[in-house]
């Protein structure tokens, strides 16, 4: 791949695994310096050892409000600028609502919605002052379809889809692009919480995506000419849409 992101600094949350890791490695391959944000210090250190100086590990528990507020200052302390934010960190709650734990609902809504809003809020002044920037949020196919086996998770993604599209309309005049990627089921740790019958059905049908396939679409969004915004990409395995 050509070094299309040479000279850019990106920050990716939830970067130690799954889509966040695949996105980080795609940006690294394109020449970006990547601040990999996660709470898993050991995993980040291993990735820094693997990729060298192009990776800056940043250990933050985004569910801790005080720690979450340090995101941008910590990035700028290490990298001086921020060109790209991939707000990817998230968790999953599936199953029947009556079986859900209230504390798990609170934790998921906090990370999937509140943290994303706070992270975007905090980086926007820096990007607006520079007159450029890209923000991509990991959403979900669940933001576009009322998935009956995941009402809590789907609701969080519907909320964040609205957030992405309204903020985009506020900040495009400042040269900042905001978009979301909405994949169907991706092979990642999140699927461990899927209802067993749905997971086996998806596996048998070949209707799962690889994280690397999502990262390819993230790269497509980031490398469009500045006059073009990819507002939202819904991507799903062909066999999932039966």
Q: What b/e string do you get for 56-86 counting C-beta neighbours within 10 Å, with b at 16 or more? A: bbbbbebbeeeebeebbebbeeebeebbbbb
Helix residue ranges per DSSP H, the chain: 18-29, 41-51, 65-68, 71-79, 102-109, 116-130, 151-171, 196-205, 211-222
Where do we find the tokens 């939202």?
A: 232
The pLDDT of residue 194: 65
- For the stretch 69-113, pLDDT in tens is 999 999 999 999 999 999 999 999 888 999 999 999 999 999 999
| 37: enclosing H helix or E strand | strand 33-38
Decide which of 2.40.110.10, 3.40.50.720, 2.40.50.140, 3.30.70.1140 is the CATH code for 9-233.
Answer: 3.40.50.720
Catalytic residue, chosen from 153, 158, 163, 194, is: 153
Q: Is it the case that residue 199 has pLDDT exceeding 80?
A: no
Q: Is residue 153 annotated as part of the catalytic site, yes or no?
A: yes
**pLDDT tens digits, residue range 179-191?**
999 998 887 666 6
Burial group, residue 241, by CB count within 10 angstroms (0-12, 13-18, 19+): exposed
Is the predicted pLDDT of residue 1 greater than 60, yes or no? no
- Per residue in 99-152, pLDDT tens? 999 999 999 999 999 999 999 999 999 999 999 999 999 999 999 988 888 899
- Annotated domain spans of the chain: 9-233
């Amino acid at each position: 791949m050509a070094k299309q992101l040479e000279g850019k600094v990106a920050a990716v949350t939830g970067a130690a695994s799954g889509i966040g890791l695949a996105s980080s490695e795609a940006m690294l391959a394109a020449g970006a310096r990547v601040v990999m944000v996660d709470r898993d210090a050991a995993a980040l250190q291993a990735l820094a050892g693997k990729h060298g100086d192009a990776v800056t590990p940043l250990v933050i528990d985004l569910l801790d409000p005080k720690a979450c507020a340090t995101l941008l200052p910590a990035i700028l302390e290490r990298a001086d600028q921020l060109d790209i934010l991939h707000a990817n960190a998230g968790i999953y709650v599936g199953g029947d609502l009556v079986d859900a734990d209230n504390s798990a609902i609170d934790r998921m809504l906090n990370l999937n919605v509140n943290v994303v809003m706070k992270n975007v809020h905090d980086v926007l002044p820096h990007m607006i002052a520079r007159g450029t920037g890209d923000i991509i949020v990991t959403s979900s196919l669940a933001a576009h379809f009322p998935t009956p086996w995941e009402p809590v998770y789907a609701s969080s993604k519907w909320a964040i889809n609205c957030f992405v599209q309204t903020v985009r309309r506020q900040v495009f005049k400042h040269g900042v692009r905001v978009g979301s990627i909405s994949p169907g089921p991706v092979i990642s740790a999140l699927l461990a919480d899927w209802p067993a019958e749905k997971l086996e059905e998806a596996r048998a049908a070949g209707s799962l995506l690889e994280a690397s396939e999502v990262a390819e679409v993230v790269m497509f969004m980031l490398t469009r000419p500045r006059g073009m915004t990819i507002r939202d990409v819904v991507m799903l395995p062909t066999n999932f849409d039966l």
